[in-house]
Structures are given as C-alpha cells and as structure tokens.
C-alpha cells in the first residue's frame, strides 16, 4: 500500500474560532501537526476525514476532490473518502473480537469474508497481537486496543491516515512501544499520514515534516529538524526546548530589556530574535538587596555583554533535572537538581545570567503575533 498526496485548504468557522489552514503532504509522507490546546488540530483532522464540514476551501487526495466549498459544493461522505481517522481513544466495537474488529473494516469495503479473515490474522501478527484475536476490547490493555485500532485502520489501505494524538491516553512505556510500532507500520505501508501530537518526540520519531498550528492559523511549516532549529514563535521554541528572545538591533547592539549583545557588523535598526539553548545559560544566585514586601532587584549593576540580572519566576522538574524560568526577558535555564539545591534559588529571587554571544543565533522574526504574548506552553 502507498498513500496518496494530500492537498488542502480548510476553513471552518465557529462562534469565536476560525480555522484557516493550508497543508499538503506528498504520497507516503508523514506530517506532524503540533499546536497549543485549542489551536484547531482536531478540527482540521475532523474536516479532512469529512466529519466536519468546510465553511470554505478544498480537500484533494490524489486527483479526487473530497470537499469543495462554498461555490462548487462537493462533500464525499466519510466512509467513501479512504481517509481514516484514528483518535486518542481506540473506539473499537466492544461486542466484536479483535479479529472481527479488523475484519469488519474490510468487509464494509466489500472485501470477501475469507480474504478479510486472512488479512485480519496477518494484521494481528503485524501489530504484535497474534493469538489474541478472539479477545474482545475489554480483555485487552489500552495499548493493545490502540494496536487493534491501528491494524483496523491500516488494513483497509487508506489513501491518508489521520492520527489524533494516538499515544496520549497511554502510559509512557506503552506509548513508546506503540510509537515504535507506528513508525514501523507507517514506513512499511508507505502511508500518507498526519499525526496531531503534543509531544515533540512523536514529531521527531514519526514525521519528516512539521506543521505548527496556532489559534487556527499555520505559523510555521517545514522539515521537522529545520522548524525545531529555527522556531518562529514562542510555542515552537518551547516545543524545541530553546530560548527565543525577541529584541531589536540598533547601532550595532542587540537589546532585549537588560540583555545586550554587541553586533558590530549589524548596524541597521530592526527587530531580531535571539535563539539559544537553556543548557548554554550560566546562572549565579545573588543576594537580594531589599525586602520591602516585594523583592527588588539591585538598582545599578554593571553588566557585561551577554550578562544580565533578573528574577526567577518558576522552577519545573524535567527528566534531566530542573528548568528555571526567569523574567525580563523570559528565559529558561536547565540545571541539575543538586545544583539548584546548592544555589538555593527559588521563585522571586534575583539571579545573574550569562550567555556567551557565540552560543546565540540571531534571526529576523516572521510576522508572528505571539512575540508580545507572555505565555510559553507547548499545550
């Protein structure tokens, strides 16, 4: 089986929310779709599957127009689209065995019973469930049910497979197993697939390209590695685990609040964004000078290039240690837990940060509305 090319512009208008996104995938390509909660990822997949009607736009798979609106109205019903949506919950038929769940999908597509039976057996084997075909969903774990759902979806050789956060409801270890299976089967079947996910690991391990959707609009798209290396918005920077600090260059100096970097050859005034890794930032604890109800930062401090004083806003646990968030400008610093304990830092306390200018990449920001938004959350 090889998937078909997908080309779509999807506009869905709802009270208080408009999705207006264009996307394309070449045949056999796996595209990751990321965005904060409420960005419209599920709405986009639901429209591609034919479950949500377009207000405007067109959805084309190969040469077939599945949807067109509003002038030339076309709407191919979901079962006829050969676009299959696999959601977070496996949604198996509870009264049918695993084998029958897979075979049923084939039978409704007109596959003869004997062929459907053989194919269901083969797919049970391919997803690692050989010998479990007679079990009903209730007698299978969440990960096993998701494997059956994947087998049921792929067995019908869809033109496009849509996966809406397929690993979210699984524990970390099971999600890792199902992710490996997904990778193996998407590669083996050369399926064209769109995978909506909150997890950068899914994008990196399953997809070749990445579309970032924010507030119903595509804010960045391209090869996964390129998008994560050059995040155009705060959301994408958070997903990539990078600092992204908007600033301005003027008279050869880049500035963002108290942070300044000499840019000798960069004279013309313009917006410019500094991108750097949290691991490259050095942090020192500082004495607080005054306690007057609210903590004040030292008033005058001579700071060198790439050095600034700020305060800690939050501490977060990460698999590798502790992520320290600071304000003005908003920067994250990754430290080991024992280093944080040794420094005695806590939210509200002043700290001195330092970054070697050689560890910063500067980019001219795209016209992105979120540079003024103070929240950084991967959703």
Ligand X SMILES: Nc1ncnc2c1ncn2[C@@H]1O[C@H](COP(=O)(O)OP(=O)(O)OP(=O)(O)O)[C@@H](O)[C@H]1O
Q: Which is nearer to ligand X, 101 or 219 (CB)?
A: 219
Distances (CA, A) of 291 to 302, 309, 336, 376: 22, 17, 28, 29
Nearer to ligand X by Cβ, of 129 and 162: the residue is 162
Would you say 31 or 245 has its CB closer to ligand X? 31
- Least spacing, CB of residue 43 vs ligand X, in Å: 3
Nearest to ligand X of 40, 143 (CB atom):
40
Nearer CB in complex with ligand X: 40/158: 40
> Between 78 and 246, whose beta carbon lies closer to ligand X?
78
Q: Two tokens at 121?
A: 């057996």
CB of 47 to ligand X, least distance (A): 9
145 to 99, 178, 236: CA distances (angstroms): 11, 10, 32
DSSP string, 297-317: --S-----TTEEEEEEEEEEE
Closer to ligand X by Cβ: residue 16 or 94:
16
Assigned token pair, 99: 């084998």
- What H or E segment, with its residue span, contains residue 254? strand 253-256
CA distance 240 to 227: 9
Least distance in Å: CB of 138 to ligand X? 26
From the CB of 86, what's the least distance to ligand X, in Å?
14
Helix, strand, coil fractions of the chain, as percent rounded to 5: 30, 35, 40
Q: How far is the CB of 71 from ligand X (least distance, A)?
A: 25
40 vs 329, beta carbon nearer ligand X: 40
**Residue 185 class from Cβ within 10 Å (0-12 exposed, 13-18 middle, 19+ buried)?**
buried
What is the smallest separation between the CB atom of 147 and ligand X, expressed in angstroms?
22
Residues 6+ apart with CB under 8 A from 130: 121, 124
Q: Which residues bind to ligand X, rule: CB under 6 A?
A: 14, 17, 35, 37-43, 379
Given a contact cutoff of 8 angstroms between Cβ atoms, the answer to whether 155 and 105 are in contact is: yes
**Whole-Å CA distances, 4 to 25, 34, 111, 157, 161:** 9, 22, 21, 11, 10
Residue 14 or 73: which CB sits closer to ligand X?
14
As measured in angstroms, the least distance from the Cβ of 160 to ligand X is: 18
Q: CA 328 to CA 230: how far, in whole Å?
A: 22
Q: Output the smallest distance, CB 42 to ligand X, in A.
A: 3
With contact defined as beta carbons under 8 Å apart, do 270 and 293 qualify? no
The tokens of 169 are what?
């409801």
CA dist., res. 102 & res. 105, Å (int): 6
State the nearest-atom distance from the C-beta of 298 to ligand X, in Å: 42
């Amino acid at each position: 089986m090889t998937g078909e090319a997908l080309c779509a512009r999807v506009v869905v208008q709802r009270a208080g929310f408009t999705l207006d996104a264009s996307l394309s995938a070449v045949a056999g390509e796996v595209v990751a779709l990321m965005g904060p909660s409420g960005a419209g990822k599920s709405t986009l997949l639901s429209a591609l599957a034919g479950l949500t009607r377009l207000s405007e736009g067109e959805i084309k798979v190969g040469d077939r127009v599945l949807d067109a609106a509003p002038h030339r109205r076309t709407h191919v019903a979901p079962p006829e689209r050969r676009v299959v949506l696999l959601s977070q919950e496996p949604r198996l038929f509870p009264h049918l065995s695993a084998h029958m769940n897979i075979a049923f999908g084939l039978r409704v597509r007109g596959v003869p019973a004997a062929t459907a039976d053989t194919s269901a057996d083969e797919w049970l084997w391919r997803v690692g469930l050989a010998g479990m075909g007679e079990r009903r969903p209730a007698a299978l774990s969440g990960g096993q049910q998701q494997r059956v759902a994947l087998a049921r979806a792929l067995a019908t050789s869809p033109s496009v497979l849509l996966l809406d956060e397929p690993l979210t409801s699984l524990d970390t270890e099971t999600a890792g197993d199902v992710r490996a299976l997904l990778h193996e089967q998407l590669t083996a079947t050369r399926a064209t697939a769109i995978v909506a996910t909150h997890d950068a690991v899914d994008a990196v391990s399953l997809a070749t390209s990445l579309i970032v959707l924010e507030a119903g609009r595509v804010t960045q798209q391209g090869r996964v590695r390129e998008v994560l290396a050059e995040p155009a918005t705060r959301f994408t920077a958070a997903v990539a685990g990078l600092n992204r600090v908007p600033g301005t260059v003027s008279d050869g100096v880049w500035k963002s609040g108290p942070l300044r970097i000499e840019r000798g050859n960069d004279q013309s005034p313009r917006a410019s964004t500094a991108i750097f890794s949290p691991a490259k930032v050095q942090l020192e604890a500082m004495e607080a000078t005054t306690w007057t109800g609210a903590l004040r930062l030292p008033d005058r401090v001579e700071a060198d290039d790439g050095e600034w004083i700020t305060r800690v806003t939050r501490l977060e646990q990460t698999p590798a240690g502790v992520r320290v968030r600071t304000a003005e400008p908003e920067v994250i610093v990754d430290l080991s837990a024992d280093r944080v304990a040794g420094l005695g830092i806590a939210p509200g306390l002043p700290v001195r940060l330092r970054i070697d200018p050689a560890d910063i990449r500067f980019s001219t920001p795209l016209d992105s509305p979120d540079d003024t938004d103070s929240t950084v959350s991967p959703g």
